[in-house]
Structure 1
């Protein structure tokens, strides 16, 4: 077995044959993918700002003038007739039909060619703890290595080659929607990319430090030979307007080696990664190649502790690499194609939310800066959507966005413009950020203004029934069908108003503002339960259920807002659980479900943690393994059999683990609430919780019936302890008094 195996990471003994299986790293601005072929390698440079303008320029249709008639048709003839009318009017106003957002695209493909005809002792690896990618092999009786990282300090892609003879050259994309030109000056290659359908573009600077360097005739690369390690630095600089374009200046002098550059980067990356630590395996188990670990799990027909530990680490690694300047898109910060599925964009009807699900509890709070920045950049489009489609103030979020927040992705089959709760769902993380940090400056300057814009939309959009109850019409339960009063619409509005009222009270706002929100809150319709005892997905009596679906929108009060639990509202809790079980039977555990979906499985897992269903957690993990839903990097796929590179499952995995071990809501601290039998013992350190709590350590051993907890709060607070799977455990410990900035340790003897 190789000796230079990362303690936290993966390794395999064969190069990637497709870009989705490449080694990946990033710093929240730049991303890199390394295929790792010793004979003909490819390094793909990515940047979070690269979205290729498609030339889809049009004015949003002025649909507000038809809203009253649209609603009348909904009421008297139903949604099918109403949508046909609405779509026809949009087309008459010049709407071209459903358009995807501008797609994410790679910044460059740099090819590295050697004279090796064969090689052996091959290994490639990702060190999650440091962000370093390593390829090693033997050729011609010599040892070769290639190392890569994306610097947290200099904001560059850094690559180092062993001494030898190489040809490196940049691929000419020859893409019809952009123009590419390259120039070489001494050891620097500067390539310029102009977008055809915008004033923007980007520049790439590649510097090569080698003892013998000869430019290629077409100025797209170098022929080089060196008896010293070869240092290659790469940087992408996007711009929106030609006037914004700046020259990329050299950042690395000849005196700096790869080792010195890496040391300064590693300190930053390692500190982020080490804030939280899950320990389920031994060092010997961790050293095994990734596909051996996967095969072991398949033979066991369940998740193994060591593989879960690695998938947990991979999820936090994805977020560290992808979040920063913006937030992870569908593919994190990586792509090797100009035609990614769903444009590789920011998909807001479930995927972005899952990709950031574990950020706060993983103590990666600064990673949400890019999330807040992205939304702020999209706000002008969100405001235009509200005005043009509904004649409303405030904001209407898109389901898909990249370069614009304008709503252009909808038609009769996918009426996403009727999905009005998107901005409220995005607001969840604004208020959660405050709850985790206690940052009242953020609460006042960022969270409250965003919540207020959402409420403005509700004030103009909502209509009242004869009894004064609000009606959401039109309404759409994301991707699963139309019908007035979709449950998620009500649940999100309830969370928005509740959080804004609480924020006003904390900040000392006037009673007038508080009372206005309270009046709106009291007018929201009540949830409904169908004849099967299940929470309805649409709160209209004549609207049936479609349980065979990958989205879990109507369970928002369970997996996201935590509106109620078995103590605060046992009736709705039971109805929600029945609705969940219906979805499991019809979709998740049904081999003939409408489609496989990693995001659906992860939302299932987030519900399972709340309903305390450890066996289901094991089932969901097993489905990911047996259906080959991840690549060798442990980045996940949207569908089974490595079909479509998507990272929303990676972002959700740490949150699933945290919630099954330690979770907090409604003044209740839940311990081992959904711990699967397959994860019989372990330790987790550093998990953050709402109300400014930190779990310094949680250790458990189910065979020894032992649980140890060390927790600290930044505020004085009292909470109840809840062990739903161990109901006879230490009854006298069911209330916990936490004193500000004082660690408290508990030992609990577990008993069922």
Structure 2
């Protein structure tokens, strides 16, 4: 088996679904694992959330808001969080224990076993040993293959999940016959279920008798066996029709089905290509060979994995950039990727395998727009629309406010049900403002004014309405966020996650208000609420520099930073576009750089190996500030610690299947190569575009190229290539516009772009 041009080859056989190779069409997923004795394919569906607990109304803590604020102001932070938990349990016994959202679970496992053609009793796969086992994923086609050689000849199992036909397609080839069966996934469901397997063993019906309201009531897995070498399989969730034709109507032709799929999937995956001049030998290496220099045995014991030679590391970064994009594209359907993407092989996935909004989901989506696939962010907006009433209920019941308030965890509903006396998630109010940035950036990367008017602006207005009601203003005119929450971290001198005036809260709301004002200006549609938006924006407190010289995670004085933590939420002002306060104040930039270096030092310690997306947060901030070597170090740490040979990222070092870094690593790499800013233009409603090319290019990337990055505007960077002496860029705009472009070592220049024409730009370094 030759390595796919854009894919992976692995030599490790596994019976663990978390180490499986993946294929998916966004709606349905396939985990491919097992080996010559029995190939296993566990299938799943993006809406298959097991009804674990019925949703509850959020507790009406608006009734005790004054009490909570008094406790926090008096320094009783832990007591404030405990008070919410006590009040909730007294109001509804369902809150006596921590409530989780419904988990994403696997639907069934298809097992394909080779059997001898004759009935002479030879062992499966023919007599004699099996040799040459390989497995591969072709990112351009989405085809996963397992192959080996038996005593009778070569054997291969190939599978992909078709986008246009919404079905898993499996082809079995070789000198043996095959026996295929379908069964529920391994393990016992945590709630009662009713399962029925079809008499021929190739169909499965599961019902959830305890489902209530909008919870899933059941699902069906059907498998059409064209013959014993071609199988077509589909999972349908009750009430969710498949967009594809009936299985019986699909052509019984693997190659024809694949060609139709590649026309859609391959176009999405192929929009961006990265070349970091990696080692030619490393580019054809197996996953195991690429990852080996980063394994723990290559570490010095204190600084994490040893840093390999640049060409080897660059080849790995190239491969992971492609692998991450492949996984996110394959997991983006009618809904955005969950923690698990669209794959699950468990009834009890970590954190329910759902949507975690305080960091994980934003990381997974972070690269979609800049790598040329902004339409794949639209499922996020559809998800939020589907739970809009719940988000309004959260705001009303928790804080007596209008507008919307997002929960931390979400699957089948959007109610804030998950919190406790330690993880005081009801105090996290930045979610809607953070998600509003994705609406704004979708407009920036598409130029779609209809979207801006009809979808983005209404969401941003609802988000702002909450903050206008929730945020208080002191007599001195300073806005206060009480309660407040910097995701999952606690000040070093309080030990309680409940807090006041988290930097993230202020930064996210400032970003929201600026983007709201920009939207109304672009559309030429003033809003009656604009004076209140401007007043709140003016009242927001300035960012604080701690006595250590670092950017503080809490603006409230007296709260001491804790840098030994996986999140880096105080760097929100640098994740997307540089906050104007930082652009105007070099001292803030220096403070942020110190904070990045302090967090990075903690990450480089051997003990810090959890939740890799915090590295993406550091990397994005470093890239925005032009800290090339720091950004590069985050990429190496992500690459070396959080990927298995299947090239799907993990949450912790070599633990917990998780897609965060599949979005996070490509996002950081892209931010190191392109920074774009959209601002007001010279005419009313016009926009100015600035492109900074190679803003954080590390010394390890002396030459390379990237094709297909998408800048705000939008402007497509059709190609960006560089050597030690020259940079060349090809720029395309869908409309006539003037852009400001800065290249390394050169002064910014203004360039006129003509609609649809390619403009070539060259500069010496």
Q: TM-score over 0.5 for the alignment? A: yes
Give the corresponding residue for 2:48.
Answer: 50
Q: CA deviation at 1:127?
A: 0.1
How many angstroms apart in 2 are the aligned matches of 1:248 and 1:669? 41
Q: CA deviation at 1:285?
A: 4.3
Residue pair 2:649, 2:659 contacting (<8 A) in 1 also = yes
The match for 2:731 among 669, 690, 711 is 711
Show the 5 A alignment for 1:453-602: 453-480=462-489, 481-510=497-526, 512-564=528-580, 567-585=583-601, 587-593=602-608, 596-602=610-616
The match for 1:286 among 271, 280, 283 is 283
How many angstroms apart in 2 are the aligned matches of 1:271 and 1:286? 22
The alignment of Structure 1 onto Structure 2 pairs a total of residues equal to: 714
How many angstroms apart in 2 are the aligned matches of 1:696 and 1:658? 13
Q: CA deviation at 1:526?
A: 1.8
CA 1:348–1:561: 2 relative to 1, 3 Å: farther
Q: CA deviation at 1:613?
A: 2.4
How many angstroms apart in 2 are the aligned matches of 1:84 and 1:502? 40
**1:585-643 Cα distance to aligned partner (Å, 9 max, x none):** 3x2233344x532111121211221222222233323334543x212121111111x11
Give the corresponding residue for 1:221.
Answer: none
1:636 paired to 2:634: no
The match for 2:671 among 639, 646, 659 is 659
1:250 paired to 2:246: yes
CA 1:149–1:507: 2 relative to 1, 3 Å: same
Show the 5 A alignment for 1:9-408: 9-94=7-92, 95-114=95-114, 115-116=124-125, 118-162=129-173, 164-173=176-185, 175=189, 176-184=191-199, 189-198=202-211, 200-210=217-227, 230-239=229-238, 250-253=246-249, 256-280=252-276, 281=278, 285-296=282-293, 301-302=307-308, 304-408=313-417
**1:334-392 Cα distance to aligned partner (Å, 9 max, x none):** 12111111111100000100101010011112211211111111222211111111111
Give the corresponding residue for 1:616.
Answer: 630
Residue pair 1:566, 1:574 contacting (<8 A) in 2 also = no
Report the 3-state secondary structure (helix = DSSP H, G, I; strand = E; otherwise coil) of the residue aligned with 1:393. coil
Give the corresponding residue for 1:213.
Answer: none
Q: CA deviation at 1:245?
A: 8.1
Q: CA deviation at 1:736?
A: 3.7
CA 1:436–1:577: 2 relative to 1, 3 Å: same
How many angstroms apart in 2 are the aligned matches of 1:56 and 1:717? 52
Residue pair 2:593, 2:622 contacting (<8 A) in 1 also = no
How many angstroms apart in 2 are the aligned matches of 1:332 and 1:551? 21
Please say which of residues 376-385 and 281-290 is displaced more in the overlay: 281-290
How many angstroms apart in 1 are the aligned matches of 2:13 and 2:45? 23
Residue pair 1:55, 1:197 contacting (<8 A) in 2 also = no
Q: CA deviation at 1:283?
A: 6.4
Residue pair 1:475, 1:483 contacting (<8 A) in 2 also = yes
CA 1:484–1:349: 2 relative to 1, 3 Å: same
Residue pair 1:97, 1:410 contacting (<8 A) in 2 also = no
How many angstroms apart in 1 are the aligned matches of 2:196 and 2:390? 33
Residue pair 2:81, 2:498 contacting (<8 A) in 1 also = no
| RMSD, matched Cα | 2.3
How many angstroms apart in 2 are the aligned matches of 1:565 and 1:716? 31
Q: CA deviation at 1:646?
A: 0.8
1:699 paired to 2:721: yes
Residue pair 2:571, 2:617 contacting (<8 A) in 1 also = no
Q: CA deviation at 1:722?
A: 3.6
Q: CA deviation at 1:145?
A: 1.1
Q: CA deviation at 1:235?
A: 0.3
Q: CA deviation at 1:201?
A: 1.0
How many angstroms apart in 2 are the aligned matches of 1:337 and 1:420? 31
CA 1:540–1:552: 2 relative to 1, 3 Å: same
CA 1:57–1:370: 2 relative to 1, 3 Å: closer
How many angstroms apart in 2 are the aligned matches of 1:436 and 1:326? 20
Give the corresponding residue for 1:220.
Answer: none
CA 1:90–1:730: 2 relative to 1, 3 Å: closer
Q: CA deviation at 1:84?
A: 2.6
Report the 3-state secondary structure (helix = DSSP H, G, I; strand = E; otherwise coil) of the residue aligned with 1:48. strand
Give the corresponding residue for 1:416.
Answer: 425
Q: CA deviation at 1:150?
A: 0.4
**1:141-183 Cα distance to aligned partner (Å, 9 max, x none):** 2111111000011100110111532222222455343211122
Q: CA deviation at 1:295?
A: 2.5
Report the 3-state secondary structure (helix = DSSP H, G, I; strand = E; otherwise coil) of the residue aligned with 1:342. helix
Report the 3-state secondary structure (helix = DSSP H, G, I; strand = E; otherwise coil) of the residue aligned with 2:529. helix
Report the 3-state secondary structure (helix = DSSP H, G, I; strand = E; otherwise coil) of the residue aligned with 2:584. coil
Q: CA deviation at 1:206?
A: 0.6
CA 1:146–1:513: 2 relative to 1, 3 Å: same
Q: CA deviation at 1:128?
A: 0.4
Residue pair 1:312, 1:654 contacting (<8 A) in 2 also = yes
Q: CA deviation at 1:36?
A: 4.2
Unaligned runs of 5+ in 1: 211-225
Report the 3-state secondary structure (helix = DSSP H, G, I; strand = E; otherwise coil) of the residue aligned with 1:554. helix
How many angstroms apart in 1 are the aligned matches of 2:568 and 2:180? 48
Residue pair 2:4, 2:138 contacting (<8 A) in 1 also = yes
Give the corresponding residue for 2:684.
Answer: none
Please say which of residues 400-409 and 735-744 is displaced more in the overlay: 735-744
How many angstroms apart in 2 are the aligned matches of 1:512 and 1:60? 31
Residue pair 1:428, 1:561 contacting (<8 A) in 2 also = no
How many angstroms apart in 2 are the aligned matches of 1:575 and 1:617? 16
How many angstroms apart in 1 are the aligned matches of 2:583 and 2:539? 24
**1:2-48 Cα distance to aligned partner (Å, 9 max, x none):** 4x431000012232231111110101101101104111121100111
1:679 paired to 2:701: yes
How many angstroms apart in 1 are the aligned matches of 2:470 and 2:464? 10
CA 1:261–1:581: 2 relative to 1, 3 Å: same
The match for 2:461 among 452, 460, 463 is 452
Unaligned runs of 5+ in 2: 115-123, 299-305, 490-496, 679-688
Q: CA deviation at 1:660?
A: 1.0
Report the 3-state secondary structure (helix = DSSP H, G, I; strand = E; otherwise coil) of the residue aligned with 1:476. coil
How many angstroms apart in 1 are the aligned matches of 2:562 and 2:639? 27
Residue pair 1:487, 1:537 contacting (<8 A) in 2 also = yes
